[in-house]
A and B are shown apart, each in its own frame.
Chain A
Amino acid sequence: MEKVFRRLELVLSPLVTVLLVVCLYRVFRVVPNEVTMGVVQRIFYFHVPSAWASFLAFFVVFGASVLYLATRKPIWDTLAHASAELGVLFCTIVLITGPIWARPIWGTWWTWEARLTTTLILYLVYVAYLVLRGQAENREQEARFASVLGIIGFLDVPIIYFSVRIWRGHHPIVFKTAGGQGLEPVMLTTFMLCMLTFTLLYALLLILRLRLGLLRNDLEQLREQEQALGV
């Protein structure tokens, strides 16, 4: 297992580095300005992929939580923890880049619109998830409680989105040209490249964080053994 992670890491780290540079180049030098929004629209090449990565991360938390409760293998719990941290990280990026775009375009930093509000509530759910982890009495309890919350939290995602949508209106469709012929091909390819890059970035960070977590588990086990032996 450890070997597989190491190998993936060796492949992914240079790949993601190169891709990130290519993305930056394309976003700032290659794609044209969007007709109505101008230069600030470029933030969406990072905003949307971050949103995608955070939702993917929360989905992984959900899957790993179910698997942990079913199998009780600590690796699933470690995976859920790693993914939740990354989800919160990407969610933070979304919540920071969103208002930067909204200020010049909507004329306001924040509006209580469906997707914004959902993202914020989700962010709060998973921050609470991380706080809960820190407050458990032991590792096994932490894993169980976190799994329960990981499942509940993900069940909540569509419901929260739906509920806020009923409350308020819609998110803008940002990738559209003025003529309404859909997305410029160069914009679309750049956008897709950014999506790919962020997905791979998430995968890389997840592997790094997972390995760290597994090492931590090993260390804890060694400490326990040491105590048991009375060394």
Chain B
Amino acid sequence: MGVLSQALLICRKDLKQELRTRESFTAAFFFALLLQVVFSFSFDFLDLGLDFTEVGAGIIWITLTFSAILSLQNSFLIEREKDCLQGLALCPADASSIYLGKFLANTLFILVVQAFILPISVVFFGYDLSAGAAPLALVVSVNTVGFSALGTLFSAMTARTRRSELLLPLLLFPAAMPLVIWGVKATRLCLAGRRLESYGYLVALSGCFDVIFVVAGILLFEYVVED
């Protein structure tokens, strides 16, 4: 069996588990919803006369990355129960295919949450996304891939440490900072109604980040799961 088909099997396993329990989605989605409420009070749009297109990019990215942390954390915490981690390590699959499978499943989970949260943010904050919907989806997906690539690697490590919940954000946020920076900047231009050409280079940079860290993840994952 090739690496890719093994990866797809592992991804399918995670999807099946998620469909049956809906743990990851429920937590991430409602946390994201909660963040939107917090933001609506933190930035009083009506009273302060703030324009969502000016501060919205930051709100969107904090919501997306903070809720994504929950999905990523869950990805390997579920494997800790009943020693599934060991089972995974023992199964006749390459470490790289385990990584790829987990990475695919995580990316998918995060994207699904985002697909629900972004339209809701349009409702809550009343901005116009009709023209920018497709480019925004592109920006969000490209940045999510990199975030999930690093997050999957780190989550596999932190799930084995003593205080896993504590560590993942601490490791992931600084390392993934370039994605947040490019993501926020591209999103801001997108919300301002600029054409994709004017921020396409940011998406391309995030794409390069994705490639670098997916490859790094594939190469380094075997050192994470070997025990």
Interface residue ranges, A against B (CB under 8 Å)? 69, 121-122, 124-125, 128, 131-132, 135-137, 140-141, 144-145, 147-149, 151-153, 155-156, 159-160, 162-164, 166-167
- Closest B residue to A143 by beta carbon equals B223
Q: Give complex CA distance A124, B202 in Å.
A: 24
Q: Shortest beta-carbon distance, A35 to chain B, in Å?
A: 35
Is residue B177 contacting chain A, with contact meaning CB distance below 8 A?
yes
Q: Shortest beta-carbon distance, B220 to chain A, in Å?
A: 5
A-B CB contacts (within 8 Å), total count? 85
CB neighbours (8 Å) of B224 from chain A are 144-145, 148
Q: Shortest beta-carbon distance, B10 to chain A, in Å?
A: 20
CB within 8 Å for A160 and B220 given contacts A136-B161, A155-B212 = no
List which B132-175 residues lie within 8 A (CB) of chain A.
150, 153-154, 157-158, 160-163, 166-167, 170-171, 173-175
CB neighbours (8 Å) of B154 from chain A are 149
CB neighbours (8 Å) of A148 from chain B are 153, 157, 220, 223-224
CB neighbours (8 Å) of B12 from chain A are none
Q: Give complex CA distance A170, B170 in Å.
A: 27
- Closest B residue to A122 by beta carbon equals B174
- Closest A residue to B206 by beta carbon equals A163
Cβ 8 A contact of B170, one of A122, A128, A137, A144:
A128
**Main secondary structure on chain B at its contact with chain A?**
helix
Cβ 8 A contact of A162, one of B157, B167, B178, B216:
B178
CB neighbours (8 Å) of B163 from chain A are 135
Chain B CB within 10 Å — which of A125, A149, A156 has the most? A156
Is residue B84 contacting chain A, with contact meaning CB distance below 8 A?
no
CB neighbours (8 Å) of A151 from chain B are 216, 220
Q: Give complex CA distance A152, B90 in Å.
A: 26
Chain A CB within 10 Å — which of B178, B224, B226 has the most? B178
B182 and A145 contacting across the interface, CB-CB below 8 Å: no
Count of B interface residues, CB-CB < 8 Å: 32
Cβ 8 A contact of A135, one of B167, B177, B223:
B167
CB neighbours (8 Å) of A124 from chain B are 173-174
B153 and A163 contacting across the interface, CB-CB below 8 Å: no
Is residue B81 contacting chain A, with contact meaning CB distance below 8 A?
no
CB neighbours (8 Å) of B170 from chain A are 128, 131
Is residue B15 contacting chain A, with contact meaning CB distance below 8 A?
no
Interface residue ranges, B against A (CB under 8 Å)? 150, 153-154, 157-158, 160-163, 166-167, 170-171, 173-175, 177-178, 181-182, 185, 202, 205, 209, 212-213, 216, 220, 223-224, 226-227
A121 and B177 contacting across the interface, CB-CB below 8 Å: yes
12 of the cross-chain contacts (CB-CB < 8 Å) are A122-B174, A125-B175, A132-B171, A137-B161, A144-B223, A145-B160, A152-B220, A153-B175, A156-B178, A163-B178, A166-B182, A166-B202
Q: Give complex CA distance A163, B178 in Å.
A: 5
Q: Give complex CA distance A135, B154 in Å.
A: 13
Having A159-B178, A159-B209, A167-B185, one finds 15 other A-B pairs with CB under 8 Å, namely A69-B223, A122-B174, A124-B173, A125-B174, A128-B170, A132-B157, A135-B166, A136-B162, A145-B157, A148-B153, A153-B175, A162-B205, A163-B181, A166-B202, A167-B181
A141 and B216 contacting across the interface, CB-CB below 8 Å: no
CB neighbours (8 Å) of A122 from chain B are 174
Q: Shortest beta-carbon distance, B145 to chain A, in Å?
A: 15
CB neighbours (8 Å) of A135 from chain B are 158, 161-163, 166-167
Q: Give complex CA distance A167, B181 in Å.
A: 7
CB within 8 Å for A145 and B212 given contacts A124-B174, A166-B181 = no
CB neighbours (8 Å) of A128 from chain B are 167, 170-171, 174
CB neighbours (8 Å) of A125 from chain B are 174-175
Q: Shortest beta-carbon distance, B100 to chain A, in Å?
A: 17
B212 and A159 contacting across the interface, CB-CB below 8 Å: yes
- Closest B residue to A168 by beta carbon equals B181
Q: Give complex CA distance A166, B202 in Å.
A: 9
- Closest B residue to A136 by beta carbon equals B161
A152 and B216 contacting across the interface, CB-CB below 8 Å: yes
